[in-house]
Amino acid sequence: MLTVRRLALASVVANSAIVVTGGAVRLTASGLGCPTWPKCTTTTLTPTPEYAAHGVIEFGNRLLTFVLLAVVVALLVAVWRVRPVRPGWRRLAVLGALGIPAQALLGGITVLTELNPWTVMGHFLISGVLIALAVVLWTRIRHDGAPADPGVPLPLRRLGTALLVVVAATLVAGTVVTGSGPHSGDLAAGRTGLDPESVSQVHADLVFLLIGLTAAFYVALRAVSAPPAATRAMGVLLVVELAQGALGFAQYFSDLPVLLVGLHLLGACLVIVTAVQAVLALQPRGPAGQTSAAEPLQDRRGEPVGSAG
């Protein structure tokens, strides 16, 4: 089980790392360092001297996709070998594995459309979904066999969904800001045509809403004497959000330096990770050996463990 848990964590890290390296491609204007897809150029699989360092950076990011694929496939195999069978783990592992070729295809479309800002946005947002799925799987594996935990009152658990919706809206608005401003990935790449200042204001408003909602959630959890793990996870999310918000304002008022933009992209990944963890920490956990009452373990034949016959 230790190997499965480590592979699940590696999946979280690898999915986040590919976002950061993809950001490096954009921030160094290397998005068309390999001007076609699936080859790098029309005649070669690898970059040519004509595209210099930009080609190396873009091609290196493409190669990292295979590293990510190797991690998620290894995780899928490991999860499939776990006994008793955990159906929920398998579903999450399959979705994570299928997401990688889908991302590669969208990345190809992005190159072929010469970095259309809307496809670039979609590329990042799908990565965000894959990071979230990886965190859910990692958390379920990590809590397997843990003592029973009653979770928090149902009304607060339901508010967890609202928190994730605000996180998603904030991330979407952030990608629109990116698609409307500089650092397009190539000097010839188009922009959304939206006013950067206006969309930045919408994004900032959502950031304030998210931080306020998370702070209120943290106070509510302390007020109802929620399990320490839930309160702690919400506190970590609040700290990450505050740091990410401060970084966002710093980059905005310093004319978007490349280093701060890159750190802000890493921060977005950390927001996804900690937000999913915080909401999962609100949920009750079943007795040792079970992930939840809604997901019974199964034996090798797919029958629920402990069933008659």
Instruction: Give pLDDT tens digits for 229-251.
Output: 999 999 999 999 999 999 998 98
Q: Which two tokens stand for residue 224?
A: 């109802």
Contact 257, 247 (CB under 8 A): no
The predicted pLDDT at position 127 comes to: 93
Q: Please give the C-alpha separations between residue 108 and each of 111, 158, 166, 189, in angstroms, as whole numbers.
A: 5, 38, 30, 15
Per-residue pLDDT 10s for the chain (309 aa) are: 788 999 999 999 999 999 999 888 888 888 888 888 888 888 888 888 877 888 899 888 889 999 999 999 999 999 999 888 888 999 999 999 999 999 889 988 988 888 888 988 898 999 999 999 999 999 999 888 776 677 788 888 888 999 999 999 999 999 998 888 776 776 667 788 888 889 999 999 999 999 999 999 999 999 998 889 999 999 999 999 999 999 998 988 888 888 898 899 999 999 999 999 999 999 887 543 344 444 454 545 555 544 444
User: Residues 141, 214, 281, CA angle at the centre, nearest 5°?
Assistant: 20
Q: What residues does 175 pair with on adjacent strands?
A: none
The predicted pLDDT at position 187 comes to: 67
Tell me the pTM.
Answer: 0.88
8 — phi, psi (to 5°)?
A: -65, -40
Alpha carbon 305 to its chain's center: 33
All residues at 6 or more sequence positions from 267 whose CB lies less than 8 Å from its CB, including other chains: 240, 243, 244, 247
Of 177, 198, 186, the closest CA to residue 264 belongs to 177
The predicted pLDDT at position 42 comes to: 85
CA distance 115 to 32: 8
The predicted pLDDT at position 286 comes to: 58
